[in-house]
Chain A
Amino acid sequence: MNKPHSAARKASSVERGAERTRSDPRFRWAAEAAPNALIMVGADGKISYVNGQAEKLFGYSRKELFGQTIELLVPKRVREHHIKYRQDYFQQPTTRAMGQGRELFGVRKDGAEIPVEIGLNSITTEDGTLVLASVIDITERKRLERKLAQTETLAMVGSMVAAVAHEIRNPLNSIVMAAKLLGAGDLSGEELDQVRTALTNESQRLNRTLEDFLQFARPRIPKKEPGDLNALIHEVLLAAKTDTAVAGRTVTKERLDPRLPRAAFDGDQMRQVLWNLIRNAFQAVEGKGRIEVRTEPHDGGVTIVVEDNGPGVPDDQRERIFAPFFTTKAKGTGLGLPICRSIVTAHGGEIRIDSGPNRGTRFSILLPL
């Protein structure tokens, strides 16, 4: 029977504390000058002070707000949660931002919701704790963010369209001409061979391009199985060396650790990753440098290193090279590295680059077991 009474007494003493604080002319002066909406709340959730900015932001007058619980300004769907949050906060009233990355909203008198950011401060008076919430309207910032994201998407679609056009029109060009030639008749045996080869190779090339785009646009979940990474690496390096278009007189070296633990990976996807990295390395040394591929165990995983002594990547491009469609090659699509990164990440791994002008380039893939 005693309890409600003492709670009431405590509440009223907090109110007196609030009264003292908010009638302190220095506090009022500072609060009214603040650019943010300020709302002071007691442990019972009752509003005991608001500044002019808060009146403006929420559309209520001070009179209307005094004595109301703070949940009046919180969207209905999160009110329950808010009450609990508030009670917890008073247990440990530290200065912090509210929401921890969640989007927060306030409700105006007219019912409109506004995106806000809220900072919480506690003020301890002799009679109890008060919380001062500082509220910032971030409507404009959100609008700008959306616009920026939209612009970025558009720019990306733009480069995607350009890349698709380029990658598709060239093989298509050969196929269209080859088909026409097949109908023309009087070709020599050698010419007929060339026409047939063009039809097969170029349609395969179209399909590969399409697969690259799909892998990028809709990455497949890896089908992981324990396998022999060293064998796969050896196979890909061999294929690259025999690809006369890039190999030239490049010197290659394999240092594959035979004690490498068996990691689980998606063979097709890892082959693509290795192929992209090794092809980049061959392209970087332009047929006259050195390439080394290594494997080694590391804490709880395996590391694959592809290293070349080519021109390296300039400092300001080290992150950009992973962006889709970033390429410095006349015939590049700029999808090689983004695909590598998305596959390696889907494996729970990580891809790192160590490079600088004239230092060569080292890509490391860290895979968990």
Chain B
Amino acid sequence: MRSQSVLIVDDDLAGRAMLRISLKQAGFDVDSAGSAEEALRRLQERRYDWLLTDAKMEPMDGFELSRRAKTLYPGMRIIMTSALYNDRDILVAPIDRFVPKPIRFDSLLNAMRA
């Protein structure tokens, strides 16, 4: 069975690195991007099973990225993470899962395996 691919998007350098190493350890095929703009460029190059994006980024935030990604690549599943969020924004966002920060890695894996 081919391993699942995931693109991590977070402008927080350390957070991005830790997530990349953790997901790799768990057997995922991982790439990462430091901004929403960079993520959109990556998505043009290849397909991913998952987009794992932070909510608060500049200039484009995770919500806008999710909206565009959902339109362009409807088959890709989107997980959003954030340290600070309000429930209403998340309810209306075109995402498949929400995982609060600090990320409990077990629940992230469960979400991705379910």
Residues of A within 8 A of B (CB): 162, 165-166, 168-174, 176-178, 180-181, 184, 186-187, 191, 194-195, 197-198, 201-202, 329-331
The dominant DSSP class at the A interface is helix
List 18 A-B residue pairs with CB atoms under 8 Å apart, sorted by A's residue number.
A165-B83, A166-B84, A168-B83, A170-B12, A172-B102, A173-B18, A173-B83, A173-B103, A174-B15, A177-B19, A177-B103, A178-B18, A181-B25, A187-B25, A198-B18, A329-B58, A330-B56, A331-B11
Given A170-B12, A174-B14, A174-B15: A162 and B84 within 8 A (CB)?
Answer: yes
4 interchain residue pairs of minimum CB distance: A169-B83, A177-B18, A173-B102, A174-B14
Known: A187-B21, A195-B21, A330-B57. 15 other contacts (CB 8 A): A165-B83, A166-B83, A169-B84, A172-B101, A173-B102, A174-B15, A176-B102, A177-B19, A180-B105, A181-B18, A186-B25, A329-B58, A330-B58, A331-B56, A331-B58
Contact A181 B12 (CB under 8 A): no
Any chain A CB within 8 A of the CB of B17?
Answer: yes
Number of interface residues of B (CB under 8 A): 20
- Distance in angstroms from B48 CB to nearest chain A CB is 21
Bound Cα distance from A195 to B15, whole angstroms: 10
Bound Cα distance from A330 to B83, whole angstroms: 12
CB-based nearest B residue for A162? B84
**B22, B58, B61, B101 — most chain A CB neighbours (10 Å):** B101
Partner of B21, one of A166, A171, A194, A329: A194
Bound Cα distance from A202 to B18, whole angstroms: 12
